[in-house]
């Protein structure tokens, strides 16, 4: 049901709260119904139904539910009467403010963190208006009234339901302000911090959840694309006649980076794609060999004084710290390209209107606002000529925030002049992926005479700019002298944020070097961090918590060892312990158990957050042990799940435990705190078992075997 229908069908809707520009505005139902462009966060119907728009793009992390729940909490709504819909792609209305800009991108696991204050203020304002209206009706002072879920109540037991109030309420302009002190405190929460079920789950067990993949439109045709195998190449010519003659094929469409086939069915389009023979021009990635770059070129870039260098942090006097050091440690680490492998291959549905001046696109997107822009740009439209319908995402993990495939669907629909469902094959999704960059890391640490780490340098080399740089500052340690830099080169390979971004390989390097120093000092690795790394109080707390959680000091079964590591991400901090064994004859590593202690401030939906962090742990284990994209002659070598191995049920740890540090602070991001710690913890455990350290992730059996026999 769209919101307009909702308004019509309830009839008695009497007010709506809208965010206009930076301010919340309360508008009357009359205004809402008479076409004045109103976008309400909250509408209340006479029957008590509360409609909350959620800007939380839903890719499995649960934000759709938790953002609505934050509003419902402050307004004291009856959760059973709350209905949730996706907010429209209107960034000025529904965007959060981050780094001085408006955005709707649900990335960096920051949905709850960035929307928390706006949404609870909105909820509190709704509650205030409801209370004021009840007070007026009863002729009492508003301060004598309280609320319980769905009702305003007074001391004598009189009650008015929110629905009843909605039928007579008037709305002050401007809206009542809400002081921070009026917001609920933690002990007053009825919904936040409780195990409230996710709203999207029932539809996900009966097949009714709508992904863009599932959208069906009258007269719809199907398209798929063959993209340039060498990233950056464009099509010059192709066997149009042969392909067009194939059964069900309607036509082909030239795209900037590929050739689309439109057909009456998807299997027909896919068969035609397989039959396409395309002549490509020379792409940016022509001739590129990823292994040669990683094993050789990056070392040259690192050694080249003329290389493009960006200093990311320079604290104190790192040079002096190293020249005065009692001991200096050095290590180099490498990490391969990673692929998102979300289960739903990229797809979008597009429909141009008959007049050819408006397009609707159905997409599951992490960033509806960017999608709208990308679609408009692709077909020469203004943004107000684009309507974006948000759908559930079959996984996102950072891949789905550009709108590139919905822009592609729009281009194709414009040519087809019919509604088109564009579906990438898994092979396209993988080979024309946007990857977590590969990287080469050089680290040094300086210890003073007491063994304390007082100097730190870290250089990351690769292609990817900011994608290389996140997580490189070890902000959980208070090291007085640091020099941190990145050195860039370019390969023309498509790159993208990948759950945890640069944290994945940067934390691997940082925490592996710390472990190396702990081993050398003959100290317990947690003790070493607490004594020698000068951790922040928050870091100390998560280390201590995970030490207890994992029974760190209890001996493990023969053949197993523990490794520990820490990571920050989007304001959260997490320390993890992995219990690991290794089959030395095959090089196969097994993670048996994992424990993570997380400081994420206030946890809005603890059960959901726990699952999200568990998801991160497995994403981490999968990438650390298996996942690897390689590129030869500019083309990706892997093509489907048979040669890009992701974790399966037989690979999972026996148990995972997640615990939250209780800290009274605003929520921070939790979706990516689960994976970046895994690599160093596993590598450190392997060192305990074998005396050999792994410096290159993923730790595939072949690579591990080679390390063990070296």
Partner 1 sequence: MVRFTLNGKPVSAQSEDSTPLLWVIRDELKLTGTKYGCGVAQCGACTVHIDGKAVRSCVTTVGSVKGAKVTTIEGLAPNASHPLQKAWIAEQVPQCGYCQSGQIMKAAELLAANPKPSRTDIVSHMDGNICRCGTYHRIIAAIERASKEA
Residue whose structure tokens are 């009650």: 159
Residue 611 contacts partner 1 per CB under 8 A: yes
235-to-83, 158, 224, 228, 366 alpha-carbon distances in Å? 47, 73, 15, 7, 29
Q: Least distance (Å) from partner 1 to the CB of residue 246?
A: 13
Among 48, 55, 56, 62, binds partner 1 (CB under 8 A): 62
Collapse the DSSP code of 422 into the 3-class scheme (helix H, G, I; strand E, B; otherwise coil) and give the result. Answer: strand
Question: What DSSP letter does each residue of 265-321 carry, written as one string?
Answer: SHHHHHHHHHH--EEE---TTTT--HHHIIIIIHHHHHH-TTSEEEEEEEES-HHHH
Closest to 223 in 3D by CA, of 373, 346, 355, 354: 346
Residue 260 as a binder of partner 1 (CB under 8 A): the answer is: no
Q: State the nearest-atom distance from the C-beta of 507 to partner 1, in Å.
A: 19
Residue 618 makes contact with partner 1 by CB under 8 A: yes
Q: Does 681 bind partner 1 (CB under 8 A)?
A: no
Question: Which residue stretch of 33-41, 97-105, 378-386, 644-652 sits at the interface with partner 1 (rule: CB under 8 A)?
Answer: 644-652
State the Cα–Cα distance between residues 575 and 232, nearest whole angstrom: 40
d(CA 687, CA 420): 54
Work out whether 622 is an interface residue with partner 1 (CB under 8 A). yes
Identified binder of partner 1 from the candidate list 143, 650, 664, 709, rule CB under 8 A: 650
Nearer to partner 1, 568 or 614 (CB): 614
- Per CB under 8 A, the segment of 49-57, 90-98, 343-351, 687-695 that binds partner 1 is 343-351
Residue 551 in the binding site for partner 1 (CB under 8 A): no
Binding partner 1 (rule: CB under 8 A), the pick from 39, 366, 401, 425 is 425
- Contact between residue 492 and residue 289 where contact means Cβ atoms under 8 Å apart: no
- Is residue 314 a contact point for partner 1 (CB under 8 A)? no
Q: Tokens standing for 625?
A: 């042990």
User: Which residue in 11, 172, 256, 267 binds partner 1 (CB under 8 A)?
Assistant: 267
To the nearest 10°, report the CA torsion of 379, 385, 390, 396: 30
Decide: is 265 part of the binding site for partner 1 (CB under 8 A). Answer: yes
Residues 120-149, interacting with partner 1 (CB under 8 A): none
Q: Which stretch binds partner 1 (CB under 8 A): 204-212, 456-464, 556-564, 584-592?
A: 204-212
Q: Which of residues 356-395 bind partner 1 (CB under 8 A)?
A: 392-395
When binding is defined by CB under 8 A, the residue of 249, 261, 410, 423 that contacts partner 1 is 423
Distances (CA, A) of 402 to 4, 56, 571, 700: 29, 16, 24, 31
Is residue 372 within 8 A of residue 403, CB to CB? The reply is yes
Is 245 a binder of partner 1 (CB under 8 A)? no
Q: What is the DSSP string of 504-561?
A: HHHHHHHHHHHHHHHHHTT--HHHHHHHHS-B-HHHHHHHHHHHHHTTTTSPPPTTEE
Q: Provide the minimum distance between the beta carbon of 459 and partner 1 in the complex, in angstroms, as a whole number.
A: 32
Binding mask 272-311 for partner 1 (x = CB under 8 A): ----------------------------------------
Among 633, 640, 666, 702, the residue binding partner 1 under the rule CB under 8 A is 640
CA 513 – CA 634 distance, rounded (Å): 33
Q: How far is the CB of 343 from partner 1 (least distance, A)?
A: 4
209 binds partner 1 (CB under 8 A): yes
**16 backbone dihedrals φ, ψ, rounded to 5°:** -145, 150
| Nearest one of 511, 468, 477, 454 to 302, comparing CA atoms | 468
Residue 333: beta bridge partners? 441
- Check residue 341 for interaction with partner 1 (CB under 8 A): yes
Provide the angle, in degrees to the nearest 10, between the axes of the packed helices 525-532 and 537-549.
Answer: 160
* Smaller CB separation from partner 1, 1 or 203: 203
Task: Say how far apart CA 436 and CA 494 lie, in whole Å.
Answer: 9
Count residues near partner 1 (CB under 8 A).
Answer: 62
Q: Is 339 exposed, middle or buried (0-12, 13-18, 19+ CB in 10 A)?
A: buried
In angstroms, the Cα distances linking 61 to 66, 368, 613, 622 are 10, 17, 9, 18
Binding flag, residue 60, partner 1 (CB under 8 A): yes
The correct pick among 218, 241, 642, 709 for binding partner 1 (CB under 8 A) is 642
Of residues 163, 156, 118, the one with CA closest to residue 140 = 156
* Of the residues 66, 342, 439, 457, which one makes contact with partner 1 according to CB under 8 A: 342
Kindly tell me which of 37 and 641 has the beta carbon lying closer to partner 1. Answer: 641
Of the candidates 468, 662, 501, the one whose C-alpha atom is nearest the C-alpha of residue 567 is: 501
Q: Is 172 in the site for partner 1 (CB under 8 A)?
A: no
Contact 602, 665 (CB under 8 A): yes
Q: Which of 9, 417, 648, 702 binds partner 1 (CB under 8 A)?
A: 648
* 59 near partner 1, rule: CB under 8 A: yes
- Structural contact between residues 674 and 550, judged by C-beta atoms closer than 8 angstroms: no
Among 139, 157, 174, 207, binds partner 1 (CB under 8 A): 207
Nearest approach, Cβ of 467 to partner 1 (angstroms)? 20
* Minimal distance, residue 482 CB to partner 1, in Å: 34
Closest CA to 627 of 607, 610, 644, 615: 644
Q: Which is nearer to partner 1, 205 or 306 (CB)?
A: 205
For partner 1, the binding residue among 1, 9, 170, 202 (CB under 8 A) is 202
Nearer of residues 649 and 710 to partner 1, judged by Cβ: 649
> Can residue 656 be called a binding residue for partner 1 (CB under 8 A)?
yes
Q: Which of 184, 328, 607, 707 binds partner 1 (CB under 8 A)?
A: 607
Residues at the interface with partner 1 (CB under 8 A)? 59-62, 197-198, 200-211, 213-214, 216, 222, 265-267, 270, 341-345, 392-397, 423, 425-426, 607-608, 611-612, 614-619, 622, 640-642, 646-650, 652, 655-656
């Amino acid at each position: 049901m769209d919101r307009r229908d909702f308004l019509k069908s309830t009839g008695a809707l009497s007010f709506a709260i809208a965010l206009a520009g930076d301010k919340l505005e309360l508008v009357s139902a009359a205004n809402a119904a008479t076409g004045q462009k109103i976008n309400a966060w909250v509408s209340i119907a006479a029957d008590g139904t509360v409609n909350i728009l959620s800007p939380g793009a839903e890719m499995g992390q649960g934000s759709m539910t938790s953002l609505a729940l934050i509003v419902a909490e402050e307004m004291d709504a009856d959760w059973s009467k709350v209905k949730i819909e996706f907010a429209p792609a209107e960034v000025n209305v529904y965007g959060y403010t981050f780094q001085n800009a408006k955005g709707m991108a649900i990335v960096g696991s920051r949905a709850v963190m960035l929307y928390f204050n706006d949404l609870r203020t909105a909820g509190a304002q709704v509650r205030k208006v409801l209370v004021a209206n009840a007070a007026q009706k009863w002729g009492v002072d508003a301060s004598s009234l309280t609320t319980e879920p769905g009702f305003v109540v007074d001391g004598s037991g009189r009650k008015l339901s929110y629905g009843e109030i909605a039928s007579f309420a008037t709305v002050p302009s401007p809206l009542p302000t809400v002081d921070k002190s009026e917001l609920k405190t933690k002990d007053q929460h009825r919904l936040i911090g409780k195990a409230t079920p996710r709203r999207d789950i029932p539809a996900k067990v009966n097949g009714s959840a709508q992904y863009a993949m599932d959208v069906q439109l009258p007269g719809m045709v199907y398209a798929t694309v063959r993209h340039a195998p060498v990233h950056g190449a464009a099509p010059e010519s192709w066997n149009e006649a042969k392909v067009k003659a194939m059964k069900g094929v309607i036509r082909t469409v030239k795209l900037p980076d590929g050739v689309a086939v439109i057909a009456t069915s998807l299997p027909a389009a896919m068969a035609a794609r397989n039959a396409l023979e395309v002549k490509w021009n020379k792409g940016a990635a022509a001739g590129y060999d990823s292994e040669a770059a990683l094993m050789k070129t990056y070392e040259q870039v690192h050694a080249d004084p003329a290389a493009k260098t960006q200093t990311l942090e320079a604290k104190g006097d790192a040079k002096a710290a190293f020249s005065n050091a009692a001991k200096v440690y050095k290590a180099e680490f490498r990490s391969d390209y990673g692929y998102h492998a979300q289960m739903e291959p990229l797809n979008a549905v597009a429909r141009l209107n008959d007049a050819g001046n408006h397009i609707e696109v159905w997409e599951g997107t992490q960033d509806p606002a960017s999608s709208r822009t990308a679609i408009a740009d692709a077909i020469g439209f203004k943004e107000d000529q684009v309507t974006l319908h948000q759908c559930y995402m079959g996984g996102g993990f950072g891949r789905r925030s550009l709108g590139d495939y919905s822009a592609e669907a729009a281009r194709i629909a414009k040519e087809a002049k019919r509604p088109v469902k564009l579906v990438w094959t898994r092979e396209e999704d993988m080979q024309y992926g946007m990857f977590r960059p590969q990287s080469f890391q050089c680290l040094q640490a300086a210890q003073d005479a007491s063994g304390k780490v007082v100097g730190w340098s870290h250089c990351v080399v690769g292609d990817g700019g900011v994608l290389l740089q996140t997580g490189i500052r070890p902000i959980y340690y208070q090291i007085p002298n640091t020099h941190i830099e990145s050195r860039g080169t370019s390969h023309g390979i498509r790159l993208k944020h990948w759950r945890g971004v640069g944290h994945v390989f940067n934390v691997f390097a940082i925490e592996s070097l710390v472990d190396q120093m702990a081993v050398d000092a003959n100290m317990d690795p947690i003790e070493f961090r607490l004594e020698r790394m000068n951790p922040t109080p928050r870091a100390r707390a998560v280390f201590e918590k995970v030490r207890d959680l994992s029974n760190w000091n209890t001996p493990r079964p023969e053949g197993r060892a523990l490794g520990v590591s820490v990571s920050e991400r989007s304001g959260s901090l997490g320390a993890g312990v992995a219990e690991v064994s290794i089959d030395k004859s095959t090089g196969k590593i097994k993670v048996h158990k994992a424990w993570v202690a997380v400081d994420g401030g206030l946890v809005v939906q603890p059960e959901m957050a726990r699952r999200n962090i568990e998801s991160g742990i497995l994403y981490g284990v999968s990438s650390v042990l298996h996942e690897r994209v390689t590129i030869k002659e500019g083309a990706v070598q892997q093509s489907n799940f048979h040669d890009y191995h992701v974790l399966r049920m037989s690979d999972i740890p026996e148990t995972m435990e997640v615990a939250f540090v209780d800290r009274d602070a605003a929520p921070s991001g939790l979706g990516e705190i689960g994976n970046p710690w895994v690599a160093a913890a596993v590598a450190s455990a392997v060192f305990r078992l074998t005396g050999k350290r792994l410096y290159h992730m993923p730790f595939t059996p072949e690579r591990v075997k080679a390390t063990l026999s070296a």
